[in-house]
Amino acid sequence: MSAVSDAPNGWEDDQEPVPPLEEEPQAPRESAGAKMTISVVIVSAFLFLGKIAGYIKEGMLSDYWGLSGGLDAFKVVYNSIVFLIYTKVEKLLRPTFLPIFVEHRDAGDEERAWSFFSSIINLALISTTALTLLAVIFAPQVMRLWPGLSAENQALGVSLLRISGFALILLVMSVMFELTLQAYKKFTAPALAEAIMRVTLPATIFGLIALWAMQPVGTQGSLPNSGLLAAAWGVLFGAAMRLLVQAPALWGRLRRYRPRLDLRNPDVRRMLALVPPVIVGLLFSSARTFFDSRFATDIEPGIYTALDFARKISDAPILILPLAVSLVVYPFVSEWASRKDSAMFTHSLVAMTRIMAFIFVPMAVGLMVLSVPAIRLLCLGDGAFQPEDTYVVQRALIPYAAGIPFFALESSINNWFFALGDTATPNYAGAAAAVLHIALAWFGVYHLRRSVGVIALALSISKSIKVIALYGLLRPRLDPISGRETGSFIARFLMATGIMAIAVSLTYRGLQSMVLSGGRIESAVALAACGAVGAVVYLVAAAALRIEEVGMVIDYVRKKLAKRRGGR
In a domain, 530, yes or no: no
> Taking the complete model, does pTM exceed 0.85, yes or no?
no
Closest-CA residue to 63 (of 307, 305, 298, 294): 305
Amino acid letter, residue 14 = D
- pLDDT band with cut points at 50, 70 and 90 for residue 212: low
- pLDDT band with cut points at 50, 70 and 90 for residue 217: very low
Containing structural domain, residue 174:
23-256+263-481
Residue 241 has pLDDT above 80, yes or no: yes
Share of the chain above pLDDT 90, in %: 26
Question: What is 505-526 written as a DSSP string?
Answer: HHHHHHHHHHHHHS-HHHHHHH
* Average pLDDT of the segment spanning 462-468: 95
Report which of residues 118 and 351 the model is more confident about: 118
- pLDDT band with cut points at 50, 70 and 90 for residue 390: confident
Residue pair 534/366 in contact (Cβ under 8 Å)? The answer is yes
Mean pLDDT in the chain?
81
In a domain, 278, yes or no: yes
Residue 20 has pLDDT above 60, yes or no: no
Pairwise CA distance, residues 219 & 443, whole Å: 42
How many domains in the chain? 1
In a domain, 54, yes or no: yes
In a domain, 520, yes or no: no
- pLDDT band with cut points at 50, 70 and 90 for residue 8: very low
Residue pair 31/13 in contact (Cβ under 8 Å)? The answer is no
Q: How many CB atoms lie within 10 A of CB 248?
A: 10
Closest-CA residue to 126 (of 193, 173, 63, 191): 173
In a domain, 502, yes or no: no
Amino acid letter, residue 293 = S
Report which of residues 103 and 565 the model is more confident about: 103
The number of CA neighbours under 13 Å toward the Cβ of 332 is 37
- pLDDT band with cut points at 50, 70 and 90 for residue 524: confident
- pLDDT band with cut points at 50, 70 and 90 for residue 67: confident
Residue pair 194/20 in contact (Cβ under 8 Å)? The answer is no
DSSP conformational letter for 296:
H
- pLDDT band with cut points at 50, 70 and 90 for residue 549: low
Residue 175: its pLDDT value, please?
A: 92
